[in-house]
């Protein structure tokens, strides 16, 4: 990584893999803002959450996909991509911005926790790099990401100008279709997936299971990301990685944990 000028250095990652349309669109916006390095999985890694590769080694190679763009493919997870970029490319001199996506499919609400896209951005934030994850409500391989670009540029300009509050990153989701009304700052909606494992039988008469599910929103709030997206706003949720439920500490201190042990 050579800093060619005073423009910001920007790390671009994703979870759909280095050949995904989403990361190409994100990379194109970032080229307008700074010096871009792309590090992405060599295969799709959706739903990888915050997984890291510790039981086996990883491969990491330079690739030449788009003219003039410094790009690397990595056999590891999205989080591995951020770790190896910081350690092996930026060599400790942190990038000024880490962006992840644009994911093929929403990462709103509870999806933030399963998402490789968002976990890569979380890892950027753990590394104290201002970080933003972007996702679009469209799973199609040929999804149209173009109309997200002006919003992505505005959001990243704001992040570069203001910085982000300590230990905070942004989770940005776009509704499908070119009629976005604007950007809304939201909280994560209280929702979950109701799983259903579809059982099939292989040619050897043994069962196997496909994970399927239905998204259940329990949250009627108009300040949530689910509400914003349903009303054609791009949702921006500030995300933290201190998972402590601070409000529960005084409750637990009232329990009898130590009676038997004192």
d(CA 258, CA 173): 45
Do the annotations mark residue 253 as ligand-binding?
A: no
Considering the complex, state which of residue 165 and residue 203 has its C-beta at the smaller distance from its own copies: 165
Site for its own copies in 20-59 (CB under 8 A): 44, 46-55, 57-59
Do the annotations mark residue 142 as ligand-binding?
A: no
**Residues 226, 229, 235, 238, Cα dihedral to 10°:** 10
Considering the complex, state which of residue 66 and residue 75 has its C-beta at the smaller distance from its own copies: 75
User: How many positions of this chain bind its own copies (CB under 8 A)?
Assistant: 87
Considering the complex, state which of residue 38 and residue 170 has its C-beta at the smaller distance from its own copies: 170
Residue from the set 12, 33, 102, 112 that interacts with its own copies by CB under 8 A: 112
Do the annotations mark residue 46 as ligand-binding?
A: yes
Site for its own copies in 129-158 (CB under 8 A): 150-151, 154-155, 158
CA distances from 246 to 18, 49, 104, 242 (A): 39, 23, 34, 10
**Mask for 161-180, x = binds its own copies (CB under 8 A):** -x-xx-xx-x---------x
CB 167 within 8 A of CB 240: yes
CB 44 within 8 A of CB 85: no
Q: Which residues contact 164 (CB under 8 A, 6 or more apart)?
A: 125, 130, 131, 170, 238
Work out whether 255 is an interface residue with its own copies (CB under 8 A).
yes
């Amino acid at each position: 990584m050579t800093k060619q000028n005073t423009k910001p250095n920007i790390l671009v990652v994703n979870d759909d893999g280095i050949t995904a349309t989403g990361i190409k669109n994100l990379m194109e916006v970032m080229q307008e803002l700074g010096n871009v390095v792309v590090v992405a999985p060599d295969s799709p890694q959706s739903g990888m959450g915050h997984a890291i590769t510790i039981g086996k080694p990883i491969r990491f190679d330079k690739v030449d996909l788009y003219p003039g763009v410094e790009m690397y493919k990595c056999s590891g997870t999205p989080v591995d991509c951020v770790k190896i970029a910081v350690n092996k490319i930026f060599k400790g001199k942190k990038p000024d911005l880490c962006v992840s996506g644009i994911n093929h499919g929403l990462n709103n609400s509870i999806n933030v926790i399963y998402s490789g896209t968002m976990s890569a951005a979380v890892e950027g934030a753990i590394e104290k790099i201002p970080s933003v994850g972007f996702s679009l409500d469209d799973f199609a391989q040929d999804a149209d990401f173009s109309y997200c670009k002006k919003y992505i540029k505005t959001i990243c300009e704001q992040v570069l100008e203001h910085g982000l509050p300590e230990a905070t990153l942004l989770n940005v989701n776009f509704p499908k279709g070119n009629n976005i009304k604007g950007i809304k700052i939201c909280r994560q909606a209280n929702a979950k997936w109701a799983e259903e494992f579809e059982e099939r039988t292989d040619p050897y008469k043994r069962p196997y299971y496909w994970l399927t599910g239905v998204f259940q929103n329990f949250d009627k709030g108009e300040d949530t990301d689910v509400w914003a997206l349903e009303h054609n706003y791009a949702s921006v949720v500030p995300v933290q990685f201190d998972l402590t439920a601070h409000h529960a500490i005084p409750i637990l201190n009232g329990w009898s944990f130590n009676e038997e042990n004192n």
